[in-house]
Every structure is written in structure tokens, then in C-alpha cells.
Amino acid sequence: MSGLYRLLITLPLLMLAACVHQAPRNPLAQWSPSENFDERRPRLIVLHATEMDSAEAALRVLKTENSGGRVSAHYLIAEDGRIFQLVSDSKRAWHAGGGRWRDINDLNSVSLGIELDNDGTEAFAPAQMTALKTLLADLCTRHAIPRDAVIAHGDMAPTRKRDPSARFPWQELSQAGFGVWYAADLPEPPPEFDAVLALQTFGYDTRDLPAAVRAFSRRFRGEEHEMLDATDRRILYDLITP
């Protein structure tokens, strides 16, 4: 009897565990499983700044419903280098919002979001940058994400967002092998070079051109302006030229 009793107690628990780990099934259909599938895989990584006073405050916002609605991210990196994971890599976090990058309109569905503990005005701490590079190496390796497919929140939502701010060290990140940067000796583009088309080719949504230029100059010049100048043209030509 004791063995039967243990079986009666254990069986429901095993069934419950199986239900937890399996994807929901449609009750209208007969389950006939195939092995030809995989998880939805991210194609790029979006960097954010929390624009808050502490990592703990940001964690509270990212894990609860707040006055601005529910938001989340896959990871948060504190100023001291601690890495927190809030959402599984295979799940869709609510970090990007409305925006566009190249041919992608729903960034949340194809990206991983990394929040950086930073108030939006200060420099990014060395320990935080070290942790970010370590995390990017892991994510790009495990998910086969191209190492240049790391963008700013402000890149994909130029009319709404500025983070991770003009102070983010994109050149340092590029030297570690992530994102992109331009050559030290910039070539002069030919007279027929179309800088606006180059912005589009690189990835920016130029329907609001001044906003796109602000995002571009914030990332590659560490400042914000709304009209492309000669240096911008040279940088863009270098970025899109094979």
C-alpha cells in the first residue's frame, strides 16, 4: 500500500510539471507533435539607459506596473557591473516600443533589450562596460546574433528616445568587437553620394529627417544636430561602403 500511496501522490505532481514545461495546446486541435521547430531567435540587441537614480529603482519599474504602463527588458546591468536577467532570452520583453530599424517594425519581437543603470547624463562606469561586453559576447555567441547588430534605443525610435545618451562609448564598444564605428581616416565621398539614402541604408527611419540626424550624430559624433554636415557625409560613406 505504501508504494501505491506514493505513486498516487507523485503522479499528479509529475503531470503538473509536464504541463508547466510544455507550450499551451489548442483544445480545438488534436495534438500531433513535430520535431521541426525551434525557439524564436533574436536578431539584434537594443541598448537602453534607465534614466533613473539607481539599479534598484529601475528593477522595481521593470518588474511592476507603473504610471507609464508596463515595461521590461531582458537584462539590467548595474553601475557596479552586476547583471540581472528579468525576462528569458526566448521571450518577448517590452523594451523597445514603437520604432523602426531597417525593415523591422516590431523590434520587441526580434531583439534583446539591455538596460544600463545610468541617469542619462553621466559617464558609463568601467565595471558596467566590462559587464556589458561580457554579456554581449555571451548573447551573440549563443544566439548567433551578428556582433555589429547592436543599436541604441534612440537609433530605432529617433522621434521619442535619446538613450543610452550621447555619452555612451560606442567607439570603445566597437573596439571590443560589438556595434560599428568608422575609420580613423575618413574617405571623401563622391559628389553624387546621397547622404540621406545612406542614413536609410544604415538603418535609420528618415521619415522625420531631423530626428534621424539627431540620433545619428548622437551616436557617432557625441552631440546632437539636425542637418548633415561634411563630417557626417564622410562617416556615412565609410559606414556603408564595403
- Catalytic residue set: 115
SS (H, E, C) the chain: CHHHHHHHHHHHHHHHHHHHHCCCCCCCCCCCCCCCCCCCCCCEEEEEECCCCCHHHHHHHHHCEECCEECCCCEEECCCCCEEECCCCCCCCCCCCCCCECCECCHHHHEEEEEECCCCCCCCCHHHHHHHHHHHHHHHHHHCCCCCCEEEHHHHCCCCCCCCCCCCCHHHHHHCCCCCCCCCCCCCCCCCCCHHHHHHHHCCCCCCHHHHHHHHHHHHHCCCCCCCCHHHHHHHHHHHCC
Q: Are the beta carbons of 209 and 195 closer than 8 angstroms? A: no
Measured CA angle at 103 (ends 62, 76), to 5 deg: 20
Distant-in-sequence, close-in-space partners of 141: CB < 8 Å, separation ≥ 6: none
